[in-house]
Structures are given as C-alpha cells and as structure tokens.
Amino acid sequence: MSRTSVVILIFTLLFLFSCEDDSAVSAALGEIPDTVSENFRQVTVSPTGRLEVSAGRVEHFGESDSTVFMDTTMVEFNSSMEKTLEGSAQRIELAGNQNGSARGGIIIQDYTGDTRLESEYLEWDNKKRILTGEGEVRIESGDGIIITGDGFTADTARETYRFSKGVKGTLEINDEG
C-alpha cells in the first residue's frame, strides 16, 4: 500500500471515530461491549424487599467480566414497601466479584439511618466490605451533624467511618424545648 493510501486510511478512520459516540471509542481501543442496553430498568423482588435500578446506558464486557452503568439511579424498599435507600451516580463500574467504583454526582440517601452521603468518587471492596472515597466526601445526618472531609473510609461490617486527610463540620442544635 502506498504511503498516500495509508495516510488517507488513517485520516478516514480518525474522522469516523470522532463522529461516533462513546461506544465507537471503546471499540477502537479493543474494549467492545458484549451487550449494550439503553434506558435500562431492572426490578429485583425478594422476601426482604425490592430493588429498582435504572440507567441511561449499560455496557457489559464478558471478557473482563465487568459492567458499566451510566446515569444510574437505584431505590431499595423493605418488605413493607417503605423506601430504605436511594442513590444515584453518573457512572458505576461493577466487576464480576462485586467490587466496584462510582463517579460523578454520587448521592446516597439512607432512610433507615437518616443519613446522606455525597461524593464525586467512591470505591467498593466487596470482600472486605470497605467503601473508600477520593476527594471531598460529605455526610449529613438527620440530627443536624454535617461532616465534610478527605480520605474517607467506611467499614460497613462494623458500621464505622473515618476521614484520614482532614475534616470540617457543623452541628445544628435545636433549642426549642
């Protein structure tokens, strides 16, 4: 093939890839999803309750046994259909071993514990049951405590969390009474 033909072929491929969506970029990098779902919704019902997951797009990669959810929301209900947990993120990556990460506008509202967590990046280690955050993580509790800090780690088995890189907070006291 002549040098001119190679240059034309390269420019044509670059132009085609630049006109496509994110999946074409994945394909160009050799990361072709096995399954792509648009406007995804899954409802799982069990004796303990119900879990509803919605996503604008879901890509599953069989070779790496991973799934990527984009523009995701989830709502969990107990067996009495009371909302117990609600969350959202722009992107969630989940591995086959149930380890995962979330990024972009993360909000988790725990109605049973009356707490709310906000972050831009969280990572989950399923085996250790540890949730870690990079950057600023904000936790609000229904009793008026607001804590914001860096170096967030939560041990969900022990129901404890800590900030290792600094923290600031406020406490609102209601004197009506």
Q: Which two tokens stand for residue 164?
A: 């290792």
- Work out the average pLDDT over 64-75: 92
Q: DSSP string of 96-143?
A: TTS-EEEEEEEEEEETTTTEEEEEEEEEEETTTTEEEE-S-EEEEETT
**What would the pLDDT profile of 106-149 be if each residue is shown by its tens digit?**
999 999 989 999 999 999 998 998 899 989 999 998 888 899 99
Q: What's the pTM value of the predicted model, to 2 decimals?
A: 0.75
Phi, psi of 31 (to 5 degrees): -110, 65
Q: Does domain 33-171 have CATH number 3.40.50.10540?
A: no
> Is 49's pLDDT higher than 90?
yes
Q: Where are the domains of the chain?
A: 1-32, 33-171
Of 72, 101, 98, nearest to 87 (Cα)? 72
Pair of tokens at residue 49: 């309750």
- Res. 47: pLDDT tops 90: yes
